[in-house]
Amino acid sequence: MKKYYYKCFDCGKTYDKDEIEKNLIYLCPSCGMIEKNQPLRGVLLIEYDYESIQKKYKRKEFLKLQPGRFWQYNYLWPLDLKNPSISSLLRNDIEKLSLPSNCLLKYSFNGNNFFVLDDTRNPTLSFKDRASSLVALKAKELGIKEIAAASTGNAGSSLAGICARLGLKSMIFVPKLIPEAKRIQIQSYGAEIYLVDGDYDLAFDTCLEISSEKKLYNRNTGYNPLTIEGKKSAAYDIYMTTKGKMPDLIFVPTGDGVVLSGLYKGLWELKELGWIEKLPKLIAVQAEGSNAVVRYMKDQKFEYMPAKSIADSISAGAPRCLYMTYDAIIKTKGEAIQVSDNEILEAQKFVAQNYGILIEPSSSSTFAAYKKYISLNKLRDQTALLLFTGNGLKDTSALKSWNPNIEPSSPKLLKEKLLNK
C-alpha cells in the first residue's frame, strides 16, 4: 500500500499519488476549476493511513524530535526519502533547508503571556520556505529540473532561494508593480524572472499556461497541494516546541488562506492520530483592505474586491484557499478578524521596539489582532500564539514609513544637546 493518497477537498474523490504526481496534476481531475478572480475549486489534500501510523509511531517519540526538520517524520511527509535524488542529499544538504529549532518563544504584553512562532529566520527569511522546500524536493524526486511560480514577492524569492540551495532552476512570474527589493531578491538567487504586464492574477494564469506547456513543475500557492502540505510543518513545530501543550488560539496572517489551511491540516492530523485532544482556535487575521475571509464568514458569499493594503503578503482579492480556510475556522471554532493598515504599522513598530524582532506588515497584523482581541475582552485565560511569517528586511519601505529622516549634527551640537552643555 502506498504511504499516502490525494483527496479532493470539495468532492471528496480520492486519487492514487502516482496518478496525480507523475502526470503533474494539481487540482481535482473531477471538479477542479480555476476562474479569474475566484477562489480555486477542487483543491487536493494529502491523506495518510493514520490508523497504521498510530499503531507504529508514538506521541512521546514524535515530541522528542527537533523542530524545523521535516525529514525526521518521513511517515507524515509525502516524499520518498529512499529515492536516490533525495537520499543523496541526506544529511548535509537537506540541513540547508532546516529552520531554526529555537523558533518558538514566549513574550509578554500588558501582563499577558503569548507565544510567537518566529519564521523570520528561515533560509530565505519567510514561512514560504516550508512550502518551497517540499515542492523543490518533490521536483527532485520526480526528476524535474525546473520549477515555475507566480508570486507577489515572498513565494518567488523563497522558491528561487530554495532552488539555488538544491541545484534546481526556477522561473518566477511577478506582477509589474512588485516592490523593487522583492524583485532584486528573486533575481539575486538566479531565478529566471518575468514581469507580467498586469496584476497577480494575470501572472498566476500566465505562469500556469507556460509551466504546463513546458512541463515545468508548478509551485503556485494553493494550487499545488504540496504548498498546503508543506505548511503543515508549522503545526508540528508548535507541537514539538510546546511539548504537546498546544495554545488555545493561533493568530494567522491570512491572504490566500494557504498558511491557515496548511496549519489546520497539521493540527487535524495530530488530532486524527490521537496526539492532541482539542484543536486550537484558528484566528484568521486580515487587512481591512483585503478582507474576503472576514466577509465570507458573515454570509458565506464570495464577491471579488481588489485588495489594497500595506501588508502586501496578505493582499488577495480572491483567496485561492477561501473554502478550506472557512472550513478550518469553523471546525476549530475560530474567527476572522480585520485590522487597519494603521494598526498594522503601529504593531510593526511595537514589536520591533519591544521585542526586537523586525517583521513585515503581514506578520505584525497578528499582533494588531491580538491587541484587538484583548481590548474586546475576548482573551480571558486563553493562551495565544502569533505566527510571524516574514522578516521586515525583505522590504524596508514599510519600516521607512514610520521612521523620520534625521539631519546630521556636529559633535559640538550633539554634546550641547545630550550633556546639557
Where do contacts with a copy of itself occur on this chain (CB under 8 A)? 92, 95-96, 98, 100-102, 105-106, 121-125, 161-166, 173, 176, 180-181, 183-185, 187-190, 193-198, 202, 205-206, 209-210, 213-214, 349, 352-358, 391-394, 396, 399-400, 403, 406-411, 414-415, 418-419
Residue corresponding to grid cell 524572472: 193
> 150 and 34 in contact (C-beta within 8 Å)?
no
Cis peptide before 91 (omega within 30 of 0): yes
> 282 and 62 in contact (C-beta within 8 Å)?
no
Distances (CA, A) of 190 to 27, 56, 154, 156: 29, 43, 15, 11
Q: How far is the CB of 272 from a copy of itself (least distance, A)?
A: 30
> 11 and 42 in contact (C-beta within 8 Å)?
yes
Q: How far is the CB of 64 from a copy of itself (least distance, A)?
A: 15
Comparing CB distances to a copy of itself, the nearer of 61 and 407 is 407
Q: How far is the CB of 127 from a copy of itself (least distance, A)?
A: 14
Comparing CB distances to a copy of itself, the nearer of 50 and 194 is 194
Q: How far is the CB of 353 from a copy of itself (least distance, A)?
A: 3
Rounded Cα gap, residues 136 and 174, in angstroms: 19
Q: How far is the CB of 236 from a copy of itself (least distance, A)?
A: 17
> 46 and 6 in contact (C-beta within 8 Å)?
yes
Rounded Cα gap, residues 83 and 88, in angstroms: 8
Q: How far is the CB of 284 from a copy of itself (least distance, A)?
A: 27
Q: How far is the CB of 118 from a copy of itself (least distance, A)?
A: 9
Comparing CB distances to a copy of itself, the nearer of 225 and 247 is 247
Comparing CB distances to a copy of itself, the nearer of 245 and 400 is 400
Comparing CB distances to a copy of itself, the nearer of 180 and 299 is 180
For β-strands 281-287 and 249-253, DSSP reports them as parallel
| H/E element, 5 | strand 4-8
Please give the single-letter amino acid code of residue 159: L
Q: Say which residues have a Cβ less than 8 Å from residue 231's Cβ, sequence separation at least 6.
A: 127, 130, 131, 258, 259, 261, 262, 263, 265, 266
Q: How far is the CB of 410 from a copy of itself (least distance, A)?
A: 5
For β-strands 217-218 and 192-196, DSSP reports them as unpaired
| H/E element, 397 | helix 397-401
Q: Say which residues have a Cβ less than 8 Å from residue 309's Cβ, sequence separation at least 6.
A: 287, 288, 289, 290, 315, 341, 344, 361
Comparing CB distances to a copy of itself, the nearer of 44 and 240 is 240
> 388 and 357 in contact (C-beta within 8 Å)?
yes
The grid coordinates listed for 200 are 497577480
Rounded Cα gap, residues 409 and 336, in angstroms: 48
Comparing CB distances to a copy of itself, the nearer of 158 and 286 is 158
Comparing CB distances to a copy of itself, the nearer of 211 and 332 is 211
Q: How far is the CB of 188 from a copy of itself (least distance, A)?
A: 5
Comparing CB distances to a copy of itself, the nearer of 330 and 414 is 414
